Structure 1
Amino acid sequence: MTAAPAVGTAIDVPAVLARCREQVDPGLRAAIARLDPTSAARSGYHLGFTDADGRPGRGAGKALRPAVTLLAAQACGAAPADAVPGAVAVELVHDFSLVHDDLIDGDTERRHRPTVWALWGAAAAVLTGDALLALATEVLLEADGATAALLLARTVRELVGGQVADVAFVGRDDVGVAECLAMAHGKTGTLLAAAAEIGAVLAGAPAASRAALHVFGSELGLAFQLVDDLLGIWGDPAVTGKPVLSDLRERKKSLPVTWALTHGGRAGRELAAWLGTPDDGDRDRDGDGDEPGLRRAAALVEAGGGRAWAEAEAGRRLLAAEAALAELPDTTARAELVALGRHLAHREA
């Protein structure tokens, strides 16, 4: 194993992510090429390999989950190549969830481009997502990754449960913070936990290392979701690629909103009253809706303590993730996992 960088040595996280993407992209392209031509074209578009007309693209997304898988395997003493099938599978599951999530939420843009359903319709999004999910299992099983494939299948079940809860929360006014955290774990934490643990599985790591990396991914996933929820209200649309105040426009019971509703006193009660009013206009995706109302709602979330709590909780979850890595040897890969977590906790998109 490579020794960890000296204390104070900066790690270039974008370079780490780029390195991991270079290692994973050929496997992703090869997997997508197995699909029927229509599904392959739409999957390639979603992944950023092509534009809507089939011309080559630059690739899309940060490749966060594949990077976690590769670095976890390296932290357990394996070569990155040993974990590439797991990294490919994790990314395919992530993209399956995004294609379906865009349809569920009615989002017409992702990464500053039209979504699959916006271009080709709802049926295309359902079938494209299904194809990506099937490929994930196929890739892992072909790599003799039966244990990893079982882990991933369980993860998809939990991920779907998180999405079901997220949709159900929109129509409820009694969502608690603990329930919202459980939903966030299902939506985000469970796949990052699997990404890390699959790296350990494919490295042949002992149970203690697998458990440590599972905790790392789970806690990092919650930190990631908390930051994502903050960006969903206060993020810069030019950077996030989402409409201004997008989560409030969708009346989502995100973590900052739920905290303010539960603990925000007068501000929380006013926020609850706003959420209970008809949302005609607020959801105008062209930005012509009730912008003052949305901004007032954001101010109520902040006044009710939702923003401060989410920022502090993201920090606590990040510390818990880093603490879990103490089980692993002090190597460059472990240091890169730590740096990656800190980068995600302070991102702007």
Structure 2
Amino acid sequence: MRMPRRSARHILDDSYALAYPALRSAVEEFPEAIQHPVGVHFGWWDRAGNALRSNPGKSLRSALVILSCQALGGSIRQALPAALAVEMVHNASLLHDDIIDNDRLRRGRASLWSAMGVPAAILAGDALFFGSLHALTGAPHADRTVPVFLAAVQNLIEGEYVDTLMEKDTTATLDDALDMIAGKTAELLSCACTLGAILSGAEDERVQHLSRFGLLLGVAFQCTDDVLGIWGDPEATGKPARSDLRSRKLSVPIALALNENGPPAERLRALYRREAPPTEAESRVIADELERHGVRGAVVDLARENAGEALAALHSCDPDPVTSEELAELTKMILQRSS
């Protein structure tokens, strides 16, 4: 009997419910002292050890592993080790990224480094990186999944570093920005889909189609994220308004704007080149000016274009129809999200 298609929110909630017990068990295997900051990051408890009910994050990457496995005939049980691995490595990267970007908020609460210090956040991230690898090495098909996973993590690290090198770079092109986000964001979404497909036992050609689906979906995700980084509602994003502008990130909207001619681009270049970061008032003016000149709409269109290509790649792998519809629901959610 054909099962009904779930909504995107239902899919993510189910994925979190599936991955959560494995995540808690994995963290409980960490040395006792490091368990505490990791739990603070996940919002399981506060600094004093009091239990919390906090926003756990989207669980998007674990959902992609599970659905990719099911799309090609695999099971949830087969997918769970990889779902755990990608969720852990994603959170490890967030811990380190918050330090690099000096972000004091994460998921609407204090980021770990701002709550417990930089050493706690670095070491909690390290523990999650190594824990993610342990999750795969002890599972079936490690000979295929571990090399894919390690390559993706190396590309993620490179993408994060290139992101720091491109800050305040007023000469970077849109292609430079897209290459950077392919490593920084899209690589891990592609890895999630690839691991799920491998664990289903599908042939290589179908695995490659799902890998491409994840990569293009990741570009669409980051384009949407970059829009939220300038025009998002802080109540929804959990981050300060116009945070990407204040930190002078070379996001996709900024790369588009910097490569235009005219007074708006010149003013933006001048603000990015100067020693002091833009003030709150200046950031608001920049955001409004970019929107008036169509930059926001152009990045939204770019996200939609990549999402459309992603769905074409998904259909090429001849997926299970219901699971394909659910992956399309996640794609739609990525384009429409506000946080």
Query: With structure 1 as the length reference, what TM-score do the two structures score?
Result: 0.92
SS of match in other structure, 1:61: coil
CA drift at 1:335: 0.9
Is 2:333 aligned against 1:337? no
Q: Are 2:71 and 1:58 aligned?
A: no
The letter for the 2-side match of 1:185 is: A
Q: Describe the shift of the 1:58–1:78 C-alpha distance in structure 2 as closer, same or farther (beyond 3 A).
A: farther
Alignment of 1:262-341 (within 5 A): 262-279=259-276, 282=278, 290-326=279-315, 327-341=317-331
Counterpart position of 1:13: 8
Structure 1: how far apart are the matches of 2:75 and 2:104? 39
Q: Distance in 2 between matches of 1:58 and 1:3?
A: 35
CA deviation digits over 1:103-139, x for unaligned, max 9? 1011111011111111221111111111100011111
CA deviation map 1:229-288 (0-9, x unaligned): 0001000011111111111011111100110111353321221122223325x4xxxxxx
Cα distance in 1 between the residues matched to 2:101 and 2:122: 13
Query: Aligned pair 1:109/2:98, yes or no?
Result: no
Q: Once the two structures are superposed, what CA deviation does each residue of 1:72-99 show, in whole Å capped at 9, x if it has no partner?
A: 0010111111100000000011001000
Alignment CA distance shift 1:205-1:275 (3 Å): same
Q: Which position in structure 1 is the counterpart of 2:43?
A: 48
Partner of 1:204: 201
- Report if the CA contact (8 A) 1:255-1:306 is conserved: no
Secondary structure, in 3 states, of the residue corresponding to 1:263? coil
Q: Unaligned stretches of 5+ in structure 2? A: none
Partner of 1:29 in structure 2?
24
Given the superposition, is the C-alpha separation of residues 84 and 294 from structure 1 closer, same or farther in structure 2, using an over 3 Å criterion? same
Aligned-pair distance for 1:47?
Answer: 1.8
In the alignment, which residue of structure 1 is the partner of 2:84? 88
Is the 1:233–1:248 contact (alpha carbons within 8 Å) kept by the matching residues of 2? yes
Q: Quick one: which amino acid aligns to residue 310 of structure 1? A: V
Q: Residue 194 of structure 1 aligns to which amino acid in structure 2?
A: C
- For 1:114 and 1:178, locate their aligned partners in 2 and report how far apart those are by CA, in whole Å: 34
Query: In structure 1, what is the equivalent of residue 155 of structure 2?
Result: 158
User: Structure 2: which amino acid aligns with 1:195?
Assistant: A
Which letter maps to 1:123? P
SS in 2 for 1:156: helix
What is the deviation of 1:142? 0.2
Matched with 1:213 is 210
Cα distance, 1:52 vs structure 2: 2.5
Shift in Å, 1:51 = 2.5
Alignment-mate amino acid for residue 68 of structure 2: A
Cα distance, 1:34 vs structure 2? 0.8
Find the residue that maps to 1:166 and give its secondary structure.
Answer: helix
TM-score between the two structures when normalised by the length of structure 2 = 0.95
How many residues are treated as equivalent by the alignment? 336
1:98 is matched with which residue: 94, 98, 112? 94
Amino acid at match of 2:221: F
Supply the distance in 1 between the matched residues of 2:113 and 2:9 (Cα, whole angstroms).
30
Query: Which segments of 5 or more consecutive residues in structure 1 lack a partner in the other structure?
Result: 283-289
Cα drift, residue 208 of structure 1:
1.4
Q: Do the aligned partners of 1:4 and 1:330 also contact (CA within 8 Å) in 2?
A: no
SS at match of 1:53: coil
120 and 227 in structure 1: CA distance in 2 versus 1, 3 angstrom threshold: same
Q: Deviations over 1:1-45 (max 9, x none)?
A: x7575xxxx742111111111111111111111111121111122
Which position in structure 2 is the counterpart of 1:124? Answer: 120
Query: 1:260 maps to what in 2?
Result: 257
Counterpart position of 1:185: 182
- Cα drift, residue 292 of structure 1: 2.0
* Cα offset, 1:328, TM superposition: 2.2
> Aligned to 2:259, what secondary structure does the other structure show?
helix
CA 1:264 to 1:247, structure 2 compared with 1: closer, same or farther past 3 Å? farther
Inter-CA distance 143–294: structure 2 relative to 1 (3 Å threshold): same
Q: Does 1:224 align with 2:213?
A: no
Q: Alpha-carbon deviations, 1:135-193, whole Å to 9, x = none?
A: 11111010032311111100011001111111011142211110100001111000000
**2: CA distance between counterparts of 1:23 and 1:31?**
14
